[in-house]
C-alpha cells in the first residue's frame, strides 16, 4: 500500500469534501483508493423494517410500562432505550454486552429505534443489576409473555405446549447459579433454564432460569401454574408434551386437575424394563420394524395408574432407530410414553403426535445459535435471568415479525440478519426530517417498499409479502 497525500484528479463527485487523502491498495486488476468520510453511514440500515414493526406495536411505551423505573438523572438512559438497544444488538449478532455496546458507533440505530442512544457496557451492566430477585423478574416478564401470546389468533383445534429444559454451559464461570452437573457433554458447569414453547407457532410462552445442578422437574409445577395463569382467553391448549425429565407425578396431577391432555416420555426404569422383557404383548403396526405394547401402569409412589405405551424398533429395519437400547434385549431400541389420551387414540397415533415435539428442540437451537443464550451470563443470577428473558423476547419478536409479513416458511435470525437487516444505509436530513436511504439495487426496491408498507399499514391485510426479492 502507499498513501496518496494529494487528491487524485478524477474523484467521485459524490465523495464528501472531508476526504483529504487516500490509501492506495494494489489488486490484481486495478488499484483501489481507500479514504474516509463524515457521512453518517450504517451497515444495519435494513433493521429499519424491524424497527418499523416495533414502532407499529408501540413497543417502547410498553417497555416503559413493564420495566422497573430507571434512574432519574437527566443524563441517564431510559431503561426502555437500553432494552431496545440490547435486543437490536442481539439481532445484529452480538453475544455479549460489550458487543452490544460496540453498536454505539452506528449513527442510524438510535434514530431507527426511536431511542436516545445505545447503552455502553457499564450502562447495560447497571441496568441488569437492577433485577435483584424473583419477584421483580416475574413482575417484569409476566406481561411480556402474555403480550406475545396475545398476538396469537384463536385456533379451533387448540395449541400444543411443549415443556423443555436445556443446559447453558459456562465451564470457566464463577457467576451465581453456575453449578457442576451432568450434561449431554459430560459433568460440566452450567445453568439449567426451563422454557415452554407453543409448538404450532414456535413461540416461547415462558422462561425461568435455574441453577445448573437443578433437577429437570424442579419448579415445573410452579412454572406451569404461572404460565397457565398468563394464557390469553383465545389460546386454548389441546396437548402438553414433555420428555422423561418431566415424568413427575405432582406435575401430571396438575395437568389432570386442569383437564389438560398430555404425552410425556416415561422413564425406562426397572419396572418398565421388566414389562418389556417379560410381560409385554407386542403387536405389529403399519410401521415396518415397529411393534407396540400398552398397559395401565402405576409407578412406585404414584396415586393412580396411567396409560403406558411402549414401542420397540427393530434396528435392522431402521436407518436411524429412535429410542434407547437395553442390554438385556439386543437388536431393538425402545420408547415409552405416559399419556392421558384415551385408548381410542391408537399407540402409533400417540407416538406420531409426540414426534412433532422436535420443532421445539429447533427453537432451543435457534436461541443458542442466534440470540446468545450460552454466552449471556452476568455476575448475579437474577441479572442473568433478566438478560436471557430479553433475549428470548427478541426471538419472539422475530417470530411475530415474520407472521406480520405473512411468511409461512420460518427463517432463522441469521438469515434475517444477512438478507434483510445488514443492508447499508445513509442517514441524512431531508426537508427537516431524518431520512434513511437504503443501499438497495433498483430491481429490489419494489420488494422493500412492499415490506415497509405491509409493516406500517394501519389496518392489517391478508396479502403476504414474498419471502425474498427476486
Domain spans, the chain = 2-38, 244-356
Contact status, residue 459 vs residue 404, Cβ threshold 8 Å: no
Q: What percent of the chain has pLDDT over 90?
A: 72
From 20-29, 71-80, 186-195, 438-447, the region with the lowest mean pLDDT:
20-29
Q: Say yes or no to pLDDT of 263 above 70.
A: yes
Residue 344 has φ and ψ, to the nearest 5°, of -65, -25
Q: How many of the other CB atoms lie within 10 Å of CB of 426? A: 16
56 pLDDT above the threshold of 90 = yes
Inform me whether the pLDDT recorded for 114 exceeds 80.
yes
Mean of pLDDT over the chain? 90
10, pLDDT greater than 60: no
- Of 359, 353, 459, the C-alpha closest to 404 is 459
Helix (H) or strand (E) holding 369: helix 358-370
Residues 346-366: pLDDT tens digits? Answer: 999 999 999 988 888 899 999
Q: What share of the chain has pLDDT > 70, as a percent?
A: 95
Predicted confidence at residue 70, as pLDDT, reads 79
**Would the pLDDT of 183 be above 80?**
yes
Mean pLDDT of 287-305: 92
pLDDT in the model for residue 27:
83
CA atoms within 13 A on the CB side of 63: 23
Average pLDDT of the residues in 110-118: 93
- pLDDT score, position 293: 94
Residue 356 or residue 146, greater confidence: 146
Q: How confident is the model at residue 19 (pLDDT cuts 50, 70, 90)?
A: very low
319-347 per-position pLDDT tens digit = 888 889 987 888 999 999 999 999 999 99
pLDDT score of 62 more than 70: yes
Residues 313/293, Cβ–Cβ less than 8 Å: no
CA distance linking residue 129 with residue 424, whole number of Å: 34
Q: Check residue 322 and give its pLDDT.
A: 87
- Kindly report which listed range (48-57, 200-209, 272-281) carries the lowest average pLDDT score: 272-281
Q: How many contiguous H segments (helices) and E segments (strands) does the chain have? A: 15, 19
* CA–CA distances in Å: residue 19 to residues 6, 22, 250: 10, 8, 71
Q: Is the per-residue pLDDT at 16 higher than 60?
A: no
Partners of 196 in the beta sheet?
163, 206
CA dihedral 183, 89, 135, 251 (to 10 degrees): -40
pLDDT at residue 181 tops 70 = yes
Burial environment of residue 309 by CB neighbours within 10 A (0 to 12, 13 to 18, 19 or more): buried
Amino acid at each position: 500500500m502507499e498513501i496518496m497525500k494529494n487528491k487524485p484528479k478524477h474523484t467521485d463527485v459524490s465523495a464528501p469534501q472531508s476526504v483529504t487523502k487516500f490509501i492506495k491498495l494494489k489488486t490484481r486488476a486495478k488499484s483501489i483508493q481507500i479514504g474516509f468520510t463524515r457521512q453518517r453511514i450504517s451497515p444495519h440500515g435494513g433493521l429499519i423494517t424491524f424497527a418499523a414493526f416495533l414502532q407499529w406495536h408501540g413497543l417502547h411505551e410498553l417497555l416503559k410500562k413493564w420495566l422497573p423505573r430507571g434512574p432519574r438523572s437527566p443524563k441517564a438512559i431510559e431503561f426502555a432505550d437500553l432494552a431496545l438497544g440490547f435486543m437490536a444488538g442481539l439481532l445484529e449478532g452480538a453475544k455479549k454486552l460489550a458487543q452490544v455496546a460496540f453498536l454505539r458507533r452506528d449513527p442510524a440505530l438510535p434514530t431507527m429505534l426511536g431511542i436516545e442512544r445505545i447503552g455502553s457496557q457499564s450502562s447495560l451492566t447497571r441496568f441488569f443489576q437492577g433485577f435483584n430477585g424473583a419477584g421483580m423478574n416475574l413482575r417484569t416478564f409476566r406481561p411480556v409473555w402474555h403480550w406475545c401470546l396475545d398476538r396469537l389468533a384463536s385456533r379451533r383445534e387448540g395449541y400444543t405446549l411443549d415443556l423443555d429444559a436445556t443446559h447453558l454451559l459456562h465451564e470457566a464461570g464463577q457467576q451465581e447459579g453456575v453449578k457442576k452437573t451432568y450434561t449431554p457433554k459430560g459433568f460440566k458447569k452450567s445453568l439449567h433454564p426451563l422454557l415452554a414453547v407453543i409448538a404450532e407457532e414456535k413461540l416461547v410462552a415462558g422462561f425461568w432460569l435455574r441453577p445448573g445442578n437443578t433437577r429437570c422437574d424442579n419448579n415445573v409445577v410452579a412454572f406451569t401454574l404461572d404460565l397457565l395463569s398468563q394464557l390469553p382467553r383465545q389460546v386454548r391448549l389441546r396437548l402438553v408434551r414433555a420428555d422423561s425429565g418431566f415424568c413427575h407425578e405432582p406435575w401430571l396431577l396438575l395437568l389432570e386437575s386442569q383437564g389438560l391432555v398430555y404425552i410425556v416420555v416415561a422413564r425406562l426404569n426397572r419396572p418398565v424394563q421388566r414389562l418389556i422383557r417379560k410381560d409385554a404383548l407386542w403387536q405389529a403396526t403399519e410401521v415396518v420394524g415397529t411393534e407396540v405394547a400398552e398397559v395401565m401402569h402405576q409407578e412406585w409412589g404414584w396415586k393412580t395408574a396411567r396409560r403406558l405405551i411402549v414401542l420397540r424398533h427393530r434396528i435392522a429395519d431402521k436407518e436411524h432407530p429412535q429410542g434407547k437400547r437395553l442390554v438385556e434385549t439386543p437388536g431393538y431400541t425402545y420408547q415409552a410414553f405416559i399419556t392421558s389420551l384415551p385408548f381410542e387414540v391408537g399407540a402409533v397415533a400417540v407416538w406420531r403426535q409426540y414426534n412433532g415435539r422436535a420443532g421445539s428442540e429447533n427453537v432451543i437451537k435457534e436461541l443458542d445459535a442466534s440470540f446468545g443464550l450460552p454466552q449471556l451470563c452476568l455476575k448475579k443470577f437474577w441479572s442473568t435471568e433478566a438478560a436471557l428473558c430479553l433475549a428470548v423476547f427478541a426471538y419472539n419478536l422475530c417470530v411475530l415479525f415474520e407472521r406480520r409479513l405473512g411468511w409461512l416458511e420460518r427463517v432463522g435470525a441469521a438469515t434475517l440478519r444477512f438478507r434483510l437487516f445488514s443492508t447499508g444505509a445513509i442517514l441524512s436530513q431531508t426537508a427537516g426530517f431524518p431520512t434513511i436511504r437504503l443501499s438497495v439495487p433498483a430491481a429490489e426496491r419494489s420488494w422493500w417498499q412492499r415490506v415497509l408498507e405491509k409493516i406500517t399499514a394501519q389496518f392489517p391485510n391478508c396479502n403476504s409479502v414474498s419471502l425474498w426479492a427476486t
